[in-house]
Amino acid sequence: MLRITPILLAVLYALVMYRISVWRTHRELDAKSTELADPTLKLMTDRLAAALDLARIPVYIYEIDPVNGLAAPDGRIFITRGFYRKFRNGEVTAEEMASVIAHELGHVALGHARRRMIDFSGQNALRTALIIILNRFVPLIGVWIANGLTALLASRLSRADEYEADEYAAALLTKAGIGVGPQKSLFEKLEGLTQQRAGVAPAWLMSHPKTGERIAALEELEARWDTGD
């Protein structure tokens, strides 16, 4: 029993962290967001809604500066104030913003948004258990090994989700008559849009596939559609 106690404690820790994470996320988003009221972007979301047989797709502005789109565990879609500012400045088109919204809808429809919250808690539990176990055999460096392994796992899971959401968005954008073009053109802009300081890698690169690989995957998808595969 004593041998499995650390693992049981890690599982309990994960459950507690999950509940705390959900509560904090809801509180943060509720406090710092308002529903988007842009007539041009509403035309885009109405097209996406029609393609999904929905009355409307509410989108919210999350009042932070980093350029990003978010899918909350409760199914709400957010774009950050920084991203919306890029649109208002003419750096991003309405169709490209629609591709962001479609991508986040993919995360919701495919269960990624809720699963990511669970994964986060599970990764914390795994990290805790690994630290406890590894420190028995390799004191001092056990924590570094545990952090590296869990970070690698999280990165691989996140990148797989991104490819799936890209494919969902491509299908939705095509059905809505917007097409995959804006999705690919936005990918080409992303690094410049999210770059904060010269020589510093954008945060989204840490958990997202490389831009060229995402565009290549979309082109392969289009080719399969063209051949009827």
pLDDT digits (tens, 9 = 90+) for 48-63: 999 999 999 999 999 9
Q: Does the pLDDT value for residue 124 go beyond 70?
A: no
Dihedral sign (CA 80, 82, 88, 91): negative
Q: Which of 83, 72, 79, 69 is nearest to 112 (CA)?
A: 72
| pTM: predicted TM-score of the whole model, two decimal places | 0.73
pLDDT at 203: 38
Please state, in angstroms and rounded to a whole number, the distance separating the CA atoms of residues 98 and 93.
Answer: 9
Q: Does the pLDDT value for residue 2 go beyond 80?
A: no
Average of per-residue pLDDT across 153-157: 51
Split at pLDDT 50, 70, 90, the class of 106 is: very high
Split at pLDDT 50, 70, 90, the class of 205 is: very low
Phi, psi of 205 (to 5 degrees): -70, -20
Residues 130, 194 contacting (CB under 8 angstroms): no
String of DSSP letters for 207-226: TS--HHHHHHHHHHHHHHHH
Give the helix, strand, coil percentages of the chain, each rounded to 5: 70, 5, 25
Q: Tokens 């989108």, residue? A: 59
**Residue 178 DSSP code:** -
Least confident among 51-60, 171-180, 212-221: 212-221
pLDDT at 119: 46
Q: Does the pLDDT value for residue 152 go beyond 70?
A: no
Please state, in angstroms and rounded to a whole number, the distance separating the CA atoms of residues 61 and 189.
Answer: 21
Q: Tokens 């080719």, residue? A: 223
Q: Tell which wins on pLDDT, 190 or 157.
A: 190
pLDDT at 111: 85
Phi and psi based region of residue 53 (left: phi greater than 0; alpha: psi -120 to 50; beta: remaining)? left
Average of per-residue pLDDT across 96-109: 95
* One-letter amino acid of 212: G
**Token reading at 148:** 């590296």
